[in-house]
Amino acid sequence: MLSSLWGPMRLSSLYSDSPNVFRRIGFGPGLNVVIAEIRLPENTAKDTHNVGKTTLGRVIDFCLLKGMDSTFFLVKRKDVFGDIALFLELELLDGGYVTVRRDVATPSKASFKFHDERGGDFSKTPEKEWDHWRLAFEKSVTLLDGVLDLRDLKPWSYRKLVGYLLRNQNDYQDVFQLSKFKGKDSDWKPFLAQLLGFDADKIVDHYESEAALEEAQDEETVIKRELGGSVEDLSKIEGLLLLRQTEIDERTRQLDLFDFRKADADEIRVLVDELDSGLSRLNTERYRLSHERKRVVSSLEDEKILFDTDQAEKLFAEAGVLFVGQLRRDFDQLLAFNRAVTEERRGYLLEELADIESELEEIGTQADELGEKRRAALVFLSDADALTKYKRLSDGLVDLRAEVVDLERQQSSLRRLQDLRSRIRALQESVIELKQGVIDDVESKNTDRESMFSRMRLRFNEIVNEVIDRRALLTVTPNSLGHLDFRAEILDERGKASDAAAGNTYHKLLCIALDLAVLRARLDGRVSRFVFHDGVFESLDNRKKENLLAVMREYAEAGVQQVITLIEADVPPGVVFDEDEVVRRLHDDGSDGRLFNIPAW
């Protein structure tokens, strides 16, 4: 019965070319149990026992071509494992098998052997008999992805799913976002949505449009900064360009003809209309500010309090009048009040004086500049030397051309800015449209009782209910930005979310329930059929352990291959595993009880 349900990516066996170090583990089609026996009393109370039950998942991951870094235990301790090659046999949809070989010494390469018989041993097979020998890592992942043909995951590689298939202790912290996926939401939410039966294309397009919009807005900010913070109207810039180009043409013509009449007329106009009027305006302003400065300085000198209570007391005494007690205190308080008011006003006057001095200095600078220009204009008009005028006009032509270059740069930036703003508007509309598409898809899958997601959430509830006699709810909803939020909750008797899911024990149960529900709902599709759960029974009471084991056996009978690890002390009283269920027994009494039969490293 089970053979007809076997699908792609089921584990068949795991072994090495050093059986004295790592012994073969053969996996059955249903429930596969790895039991760790704690024989030494001093290890009974420990959370970790260093026998390798958790390490098994990491070894399977290694053989499924996990990317390597220096922290991975096999790579980190090449002095211990460097001579070992590991082999993982996988059963495929067509009934055939592929064996993946990966050497610890060269983890950037992998080899592949296709075969028809289960349980082969290719640890001594020579290079020429392998179908693919030591392919580069990226090619190896691509090849295995094609061989497994998990097309329900496309466009993602099988590696994206492996994170959910191999749950270690760190992966029970969040039901949906695994410790392996701690990047941006766009790195994992679209894949998870597709796994749960939603339209991931819409979600990916939405994220990409948002990213494109953000990039365009950043570019807009850069262009505005290049323009100096003040964005002129493109029409104005183009008008200025036209005027400056016309001036250049006219000056070029004058220089070519050696005709300075127009230049003289322009200098006179500038001298009268701009320079003289500008100097007159500055002198008027300087006169006003000088007058204001005199007023402020005078106010500062006048603001002195001449009344002195000690002197007043002497005068009163000479007149035979008492100046003591409340009368003196009243005068002292009045003086203190006046002194405070005077100091505050003095502060304002000093600030006003500083501003006036600054403006006078700026006016002086401007007046000097205009005076120099006026002097140069008068020299030009009085100079009869044509060569001097020619040089002066040539210098002006250079300045005009420099101004044109700057205006053309602004023109180019403004045109880019206009195009960019049109693109931003289009992207904003696209984001709104795609957001609505995501919302519509989620709403339709939530309301369709026959949808993949509806089947998964029913399975999810059934599993939790059978184990702890509580209902559970799996929800996927769009937030205000149109991004999906995933929740798994245990409900109370009124159907409200309770705090039970926040506990570590039930949190792990929710993770296990999600994995099993997803695989069970997708048994007819092209998705993996196996899952690895480390420490499944930890913290559950005995009755709930029995319930969970019954669920796992039911799902194993349905076709979901499971590899679970547990400590023998966690096995409920009276529960006995079948011989074909227990694939490896580990213990802490000597090297032969560890997954790798070597001293602890």
Please give the average per-residue pLDDT across 261-287, as a whole number. 58
Integer Cα distance of 405 and 223 in angstroms: 17
Does 599 map to a domain?
no
**pLDDT classification of 33: cutoffs 50, 70, 90:** very high
Peptide bond into 573 cis (omega under 30): no
Integer Cα distance of 293 and 287 in angstroms: 10
Question: What's the pLDDT score for residue 547?
Answer: 96
**pLDDT classification of 62: cutoffs 50, 70, 90:** very high
Exposure letters 144-159 (e unless 16+ CB within 10 A, then b): bbebbbbebbeebbbb
Does 512 map to a domain?
yes
Do both 374 and 460 map to the same domain? no
Does 193 map to a domain?
yes
Please give the average per-residue pLDDT across 182-202, as a whole number. 92
Amino acid identity, residue 343? E
State the average pLDDT for the chain. Answer: 81
Total domains present in the chain: 2
Does 388 map to a domain?
no
Do both 241 and 300 map to the same domain? yes
Asked if residue 255 has pLDDT above 70, the reply is no
- Residue bearing the bigger pLDDT, 373 or 304: 373
Do both 245 and 193 map to the same domain? no
Do both 165 and 103 map to the same domain? yes
Amino acid identity, residue 218? D
Which of 344, 364, 382 finishes a domain?
Answer: 382
**pLDDT classification of 7: cutoffs 50, 70, 90:** very low
Q: Nearest to residue 177, comparing CAs of 480, 473, 485, 464?
A: 485
Do both 241 and 334 map to the same domain? yes
Is the distance from CB of 153 to CB of 160 less than 8 angstroms? yes
Please give the average per-residue pLDDT across 168-177, as a whole number. 88
Do both 13 and 161 map to the same domain? yes
Do both 556 and 458 map to the same domain? yes
Asked if residue 234 has pLDDT above 50, the reply is no
Q: How does DSSP assign 139-156, residue by residue?
A: HHHHHHHHHHT-GGGTTS
Do both 23 and 130 map to the same domain? yes
Does 422 map to a domain?
no
**pLDDT classification of 265: cutoffs 50, 70, 90:** very low
Residue range 144-166, pLDDT digits in tens: 999 998 989 899 999 999 988 99
Task: Kindly state the percentage of the chain with pLDDT values over 70.
Answer: 71
**pLDDT classification of 539: cutoffs 50, 70, 90:** confident
Q: Nearest to residue 197, comparing CAs of 474, 442, 511?
A: 442
- Rounded alpha-carbon distances, angstroms, from residue 281 to 276, 287, 353, 354, 363: 9, 10, 21, 22, 10
Biggest distance spanned by C-alpha atoms of the chain: 131
Question: What's the pLDDT score for residue 394?
Answer: 58
Integer Cα distance of 324 and 316 in angstroms: 10
Residue range 418-461, pLDDT digits in tens: 788 888 899 999 999 999 999 999 999 999 999 999 999 999 99
Asked if residue 376 has pLDDT above 60, the reply is yes
Asked if residue 39 has pLDDT above 50, the reply is yes
Strand partners for 26:
13
Asked if residue 211 has pLDDT above 50, the reply is yes
Question: What's the pLDDT score for residue 454?
Answer: 97
Question: What's the pLDDT score for residue 553?
Answer: 96
Q: How does DSSP assign 45-69, residue by residue?
A: T-S---SSHHHHHHHHHHHTTPPP-
Question: What's the pLDDT score for residue 310?
Answer: 60
User: Alpha-carbon Rg of the chain, whole angstroms?
Assistant: 43
- For the purposes of burial, counting CB atoms within 10 Å of the CB of 27, is it exposed (0-12), middle (13-18) or buried (19 or more)? buried
Does 415 map to a domain?
no
Integer Cα distance of 87 and 100 in angstroms: 6
Long-range contacts of 426-435 (CB under 8 A, 24+ apart): 427/209, 427/212, 427/213, 427/216, 428/213, 430/209, 430/213, 431/206, 431/209, 431/210, 431/213, 431/482, 434/202, 434/205, 434/206, 434/209, 434/482, 435/206, 435/478, 435/481, 435/482
Do both 150 and 244 map to the same domain? no
Do both 64 and 120 map to the same domain? yes
Q: Are strands 166-167 and 530-534 parallel, antiparallel or unpaired?
A: parallel
**Highest-confidence segment of 42-46, 120-124, 495-499:** 120-124
Question: What's the pLDDT score for residue 8?
Answer: 56
Query: Any idea which of 61-70, 90-99, 304-313, 427-436 has the lowest mean pLDDT?
Result: 304-313
Integer Cα distance of 70 and 553 in angstroms: 38
CATH number at residue 58: 3.40.50.300
Is the distance from CB of 463 to CB of 516 less than 8 angstroms? yes
Q: Are strands 166-167 and 484-490 parallel, antiparallel or unpaired?
A: unpaired
Does 577 map to a domain?
yes
Question: What's the pLDDT score for residue 260?
Answer: 43
Question: What's the pLDDT score for residue 358?
Answer: 84
Task: Kindly state the percentage of the chain with pLDDT values over 90.
Answer: 45
**Highest-confidence segment of 208-222, 311-325, 501-515:** 208-222
Please give the average per-residue pLDDT across 537-557, as a whole number. 94
Do both 15 and 151 map to the same domain? yes
Please give the average per-residue pLDDT across 182-189, as a whole number. 86
Which of 331, 355, 382 finishes a domain?
Answer: 382
Asked if residue 597 has pLDDT above 50, the reply is yes
Please give the average per-residue pLDDT across 273-301, as a whole number. 71
- Residue bearing the bigger pLDDT, 436 or 390: 436
Question: What's the pLDDT score for residue 361?
Answer: 83
Do both 170 and 282 map to the same domain? no
Full residue range of the structural domain in which residue 239 is found = 234-382
- Residue bearing the bigger pLDDT, 197 or 278: 197
Query: Any idea which of 26-35, 502-511, 512-521 has the lowest mean pLDDT?
Result: 502-511
- Residue bearing the bigger pLDDT, 122 or 92: 122
Which of 340, 365, 382 finishes a domain?
Answer: 382
Please give the average per-residue pLDDT across 21-50, as a whole number. 82
Does 209 map to a domain?
no
Residue range 327-357, pLDDT digits in tens: 556 555 655 655 665 676 677 777 877 888 8
Asked if residue 555 has pLDDT above 70, the reply is yes
Asked if residue 5 has pLDDT above 70, the reply is no
